[in-house]
Amino acid sequence: MILKKLFFVAAAGISCTAFSQSVNKQKLMDYLDSLSVHHKVMGSFAMTENDQPTFQKVIGFSDASKQQKANINTQYRIGSISKTFTAVLVMKAVEEKKLALDAKLSTWYPEIENADKITIENLLQHRSGIHNLTDEEEYWTYNTKPQTEQSLLTIIKKYKSDFSPETKYEYSNSNYILLAFILEKVYKKTYAELLQRKITEPLKLKLTKVGGKIDPSQNQALSYTYSNGSYQPWQETDMSVPTGAGNIISTPAELLKFIIALENGKLVSKESLARMKNFKDGYGYGIAQVPFEKYSGYGHNGGIDQFLSVLYYFPELKTAVSFMTNQSDYNNNDISIKMLQTSIGKDFKMPNFREVSVAAEILKKYEGLYKAEGFPLDIKIFLEDGKLKGQATGQGTFPLEAVSESEFKFEMAGINMKFNAEKGTMDFSQGANKFTFKKQ
């Protein structure tokens, strides 16, 4: 799926001391190796300091069935980081007088609800009220099949508007699908051609392009889940579905070149970049505010199928981090923080992956369907191959790692669950959100 929300938790309250940069980078490598050994993550990682590359690391396979290891040139789907590229193309169109930020959606799609009130800027900032098509369960019935502009438009326009334009922020992939189509109309070129001519060719990015069906023989990574001691391949979203909301493939090193060029005025003017950084509710034009300790950066993250990606730049530090994973049972935000801590010479604590063993007869007591008032999804808990797993309504299954006999976590999403078999309850927490679920 395309990631619904941006997330980044600033590191805080960690006791750290400065230490040797070479030791620091080695510890970061050891940390990533540890994630790989414990099957927590596969992917590619890169960092720049003073706008120069200083760190690169690749772990895991691009094609697990053939034991084909990934390398620094392996291409991964970057999901919603594509939105930053789309926003840059929009700003270039504005500079070239092809588009105006206050132009109304009705110019191109008058049949969409509130089209006469929705501006290009509203689409860029997720303030249009247009419903997010990936939120609906029916998305999973067509996401692997080729789509046309008309078929996607039919889907988007059938949903009722979520709110009046400009009144609030709500992330919607539909906004950037429409922006990609509008770009194609004003330039009379495909999105892929625009990306190539206006961004990748000028920056000499040879591994960044609109993706298609994944071809491991061309050094493109497949995505996986890890269960029962092996890597299980995941379905492929057809790239005609996300278009400008999530259809690009790239590498971390090339994404870093892209964001450094953006910051230094090599893609759009400084004035255009300043407009892109016009953050409302934490979101600008295809970029979000990113806090880290006392510093403020910007960037985007993404997720499509089992690919997760990150691209963050901190102007004050002149530091950027990027990575892409094609399998993860880990909180990727933790990786971001440790990379940034490394960049400023701070130590970090290595994770302990020793899992608590819980007897099957105890785990069986937790099985069932759980509901909570105020929580939009039900969660099914079940035992499979001796492991406890969860599945929310309309979502894929996820593994639960035992912290104790009654407490479990899904680290990748920052989810913690504590079961009380006698009461038939499950205390659920994810960040600041806390709910008590009742077994049905």
- Looking at residue 19, its pLDDT comes to 38
Residue 435 makes CB contacts below 8 A (sequence gap 6+) with 372, 374, 375, 427, 428, 429
- Looking at residue 173, its pLDDT comes to 98
**Extended beta strands in 16-125, E state:** 41-49, 52-59, 61-63, 68-69, 76-77
Nearest to 44 by CA among 326, 259, 296, 407: 326
The SS3 of residue 144 is coil
Token readout for 27 is 């510890």
H-only helix segments in 38-147: 82-95, 120-124, 139-142
Share of the chain above pLDDT 90, in %: 82
Q: pLDDT of 288-310, one tens digit each?
A: 999 999 999 999 999 999 999 99
- Looking at residue 375, its pLDDT comes to 87
pLDDT-derived band at 15 (thresholds 50, 70, 90) equals: very low
Same domain as 424, residue 285: no
Least confident of 62-66, 125-129, 180-184, 405-409: 405-409
Write the CATH number for 409: 2.40.128.50
Same domain as 134, residue 51: yes
Token readout for 13 is 């309250």
Instruction: Tell whether the model's pLDDT for residue 4 goes beyond 90.
Output: no
Same domain as 391, residue 264: no
pLDDT-derived band at 12 (thresholds 50, 70, 90) equals: very low
Provide the number of structural domains found in the chain: 2
Contact 82, 248 (CB under 8 A): yes
Same domain as 418, residue 285: no
Token readout for 41 is 């993550």
Instruction: Determine the distance from the C-alpha atom of residue 404 to the mean position of all C-alpha atoms in its chain, rounded to a whole number.
Output: 30
Residue 60 makes CB contacts below 8 A (sequence gap 6+) with 36, 41, 42, 43, 69, 70, 326, 327
Q: What's the CA gap between 85 and 68, in Å, rounded?
A: 30
Instruction: Tell whether the model's pLDDT for residue 396 goes beyond 80.
Output: no
- Looking at residue 385, its pLDDT comes to 79
**Extended beta strands in 108-218, E state:** 209-210
- Looking at residue 307, its pLDDT comes to 97
Contact 35, 312 (CB under 8 A): no
- Looking at residue 118, its pLDDT comes to 98
Same domain as 271, residue 147: yes
Helix axis angle for 149-158 and 173-187, nearest 10°, is: 140
Mean pLDDT for the stretch of residues 165-181: 97
Same domain as 219, residue 295: yes
- Looking at residue 374, its pLDDT comes to 87
Neighbours of 180 (CB within 10 A): 27
Same domain as 377, residue 333: no
Last residue of a domain, one of 294, 325, 353: 353
Q: What's the CA gap between 47 and 71, in Å, rounded?
A: 16
Domain range for 378 is 360-439
- Looking at residue 23, its pLDDT comes to 58
Same domain as 364, residue 304: no
Same domain as 365, residue 329: no
Same domain as 390, residue 250: no
Instruction: Tell whether the model's pLDDT for residue 9 goes beyond 70.
Output: no
The DSSP result for 237-248, as a single string, is --TTTTGGGT-E
Same domain as 435, residue 390: yes
Write the CATH number for 5: 3.40.710.10
Q: What is the CA radius of gyration of the chain?
A: 22
- Looking at residue 49, its pLDDT comes to 95
| Greatest distance between any 2 Cα atoms in the chain | 68
Instruction: Tell whether the model's pLDDT for residue 198 goes beyond 90.
Output: yes
Same domain as 310, residue 408: no
Q: What's the CA gap between 336 and 313, in Å, rounded?
A: 11
Last residue of a domain, one of 306, 321, 353: 353
Q: Is the pTM of this model over 0.75?
A: yes
Q: pLDDT of 37-67, one tens digit each?
A: 989 999 999 999 999 999 999 999 999 999 9
Last residue of a domain, one of 303, 338, 353: 353
Q: What's the CA gap between 225 and 45, in Å, rounded?
A: 19
Instruction: Tell whether the model's pLDDT for residue 282 goes beyond 70.
Output: yes
Residue 335 makes CB contacts below 8 A (sequence gap 6+) with 32, 35, 41, 45, 310, 323
Instruction: Tell whether the model's pLDDT for residue 16 goes beyond 60.
Output: no
Nearest to 57 by CA among 411, 327, 339: 339
